[in-house]
Structure 1
Amino acid sequence: MYDMSTRKRALALVGQGHSLNSVSNETGVSRAALRSWQTRIEPLKHAGKPCPRCQGVPGPPEDPRAYAYLLGLYLGDGCVSAHRRGVYYLRIVCDNAWPGLIDACEAAIRSARPDNSVSRVKKDGCVAVTAASKHWPCLFPQHGPGKKHERTIALERWQQEIVDAHPWEFVRGLIHSDGCRITNRTTRLVKGEPKLYEYPRYFFTNLSSDIMRLFTNTLDRVGVEWRQANSRNISVARRASVALMDLHVGPKY
């Protein structure tokens, strides 16, 4: 009655902690079928393409540019969590206010594992873009217990090579997850009269000093001037640097 993509999506929702009732209502799959699949079907057993990191001679993902963007998203608002039978879920949380970013996130996940299904789980004010695979820890070796800012985050050599080759995609992913472009407004006295000034700037906010360092090192590489506003915020406000960011990143959409 149900095709494999429907089964995978339903099992992904169950694996994320949703009740059988809510999954049944969302997917149209009966609770009896869901219970049966939990014991009989291993998610993704028909996934076709092998993992690029598990082959005899490991190589980069098929689309390094998309992976650089996805890596930025993962380090900002993503997590990898273990499920049963060696399956892992990659989950990137996106704000409902930016539908274009949700689409871009899904496209990047599909580029990393083209034969795996991707689902969108609606939450209060956001969407979790999710996909299951046995190989997410291979593609994101930063996965580990605890919060990212409470453990060391360092790129492996093959990841750094991808970031070096596609630095702007990495910066875009980080800004799209944990950054923003705003208009700063300030008032100054000019000949005794208050005058309003407006100028754009970018902010990146993260609790992990390691992730902030990865961000600023990449900004240095592409010639963007930045300053550390406080322990958790990086600011880009110089006109030439904002222009570079506008050219390659731009506002959220």
Structure 2
Amino acid sequence: MYDGETRSIALAAIGAGESLNSISKRLGVSRATLRDWRDRPARTPYPNDCPVCANGKLPPAPYAHLLGLYLGDGCLSKHRRDVYALRIACDDAYPRLIDEAASAVADVHPARPVHRVQAVGYTAVLSYWKHWPCLFPQHGPGPKHRRKIELAPWQQQIVATHPELFLRGLFNSDGCRITNWTTRTVRGEVKRYEYPRYMFSNESPDIMHLCQQSLNQLSIPWRMPAPTPSP
């Protein structure tokens, strides 16, 4: 697959009368691909175009979900030819959440297949693309909790528009749901009440703050656990 910039350069050269053989040698693009671009120029936007540095389209709702998954339990790793692998670690105990993560990746980048790689106790949802760092500028050396995590303005706008999906990604990757219970005396009879409790745990204070901001936007009450006393 070629990025949108390469395609644009090739089309401009074709329009200027340069031969396909010359363009192929200069850009490293096969002549068959160049003929396809020449004969079907109206096929835009190109599905592999980056929505940040080119003219690709970014679906905001799936991206909000995927951003939460990435910040919770995702990472990028560089491979050959500047291709990056996006990995989302998903617990094998929740196959539906694995399906959701794979769907979010496919919706954000439909031009390439989404792989599921089995590991010990978890499944890695995996996708390769040169432009994953464009979509996740929070990528950097070392663990996320050891560096500053801030959202770019365009990311802030997406999260503000879809806070519920951003939270879904965070809680699905680095959260859990438990059942709490309490008792109450009603008309002389002790009754037991059960209710769900959601917990989100992340070592990055910046990611915790992003979670809290979205909870506040949705008017969802939250609190931090009391610190554990020193022995």
Contiguous gaps of at least 5 residues in structure 1: 5-45, 233-253
Paired residue secondary structure (1:227): coil
Q: 1:125 offset after TM fit, Å?
A: 1.4
Q: 2:159 aligns with which of 145, 163, 171?
A: 163
Amino acid of the structure 1 residue aligned with 2:64 = A
Q: 2:140 aligns with which of 141, 144, 147?
A: 144
Q: TM-score, normalization: structure 1?
A: 0.67
Q: Decide whether aligned partners of structure 1 residues 119 and 198 sit closer, same or farther in structure 2, where only a CA change above 3 A counts.
A: same
Structure 2 matches for 1:48-87, cutoff 5 A?
48-55=47-54, 61-87=57-83
Q: 1:225 offset after TM fit, Å?
A: 0.8
CA distance in 2, matches of 1:82, 1:112: 19
CA distance in 1, matches of 2:226, 2:118: 33
Contiguous gaps of at least 5 residues in structure 2: 2-32, 34-45
Q: Decide whether aligned partners of structure 1 residues 231 and 137 sit closer, same or farther in structure 2, where only a CA change above 3 A counts.
A: farther
Which residue in the other structure is 1:92 paired with?
Answer: 88
1:223 aligns with 2:219: yes
What do residues 138-179 of structure 1 show as CA deviations (whole Å, max 9, x unaligned)? 000000000001110000000000001111110111111111
Q: 1:185 offset after TM fit, Å?
A: 3.0
Q: 1:62 offset after TM fit, Å?
A: 2.6
What do residues 100-121 of structure 1 show as CA deviations (whole Å, max 9, x unaligned)? 1111111111111111111100
Which residue in the other structure is 1:205 paired with?
Answer: 201
Structure 2 matches for 1:1-253, cutoff 5 A?
48-55=47-54, 61-186=57-182, 196-230=192-226
Q: Decide whether aligned partners of structure 1 residues 231 and 50 sit closer, same or farther in structure 2, where only a CA change above 3 A counts.
A: farther
Task: Count residues in correspondence.
Answer: 185
Q: Decide whether aligned partners of structure 1 residues 171 and 83 sit closer, same or farther in structure 2, where only a CA change above 3 A counts.
A: same
Amino acid of the structure 1 residue aligned with 2:115 = S
Q: Decide whether aligned partners of structure 1 residues 77 and 230 sit closer, same or farther in structure 2, where only a CA change above 3 A counts.
A: farther
Paired residue secondary structure (1:229): coil
Amino acid of the structure 1 residue aligned with 2:74 = G
Amino acid of the structure 2 residue aligned with 1:201 = R
Amino acid of the structure 1 residue aligned with 2:71 = L
**RMSD of aligned C-alpha atoms?**
2.6
Q: 1:229 offset after TM fit, Å?
A: 1.1
| Percentage identity across paired residues of the two chains | 55
Paired residue secondary structure (2:156): helix
Which residue in the other structure is 1:238 paired with?
Answer: none
Q: Decide whether aligned partners of structure 1 residues 209 and 201 sit closer, same or farther in structure 2, where only a CA change above 3 A counts.
A: same
Which residue in the other structure is 1:248 paired with?
Answer: none
Q: Decide whether aligned partners of structure 1 residues 170 and 231 sit closer, same or farther in structure 2, where only a CA change above 3 A counts.
A: farther
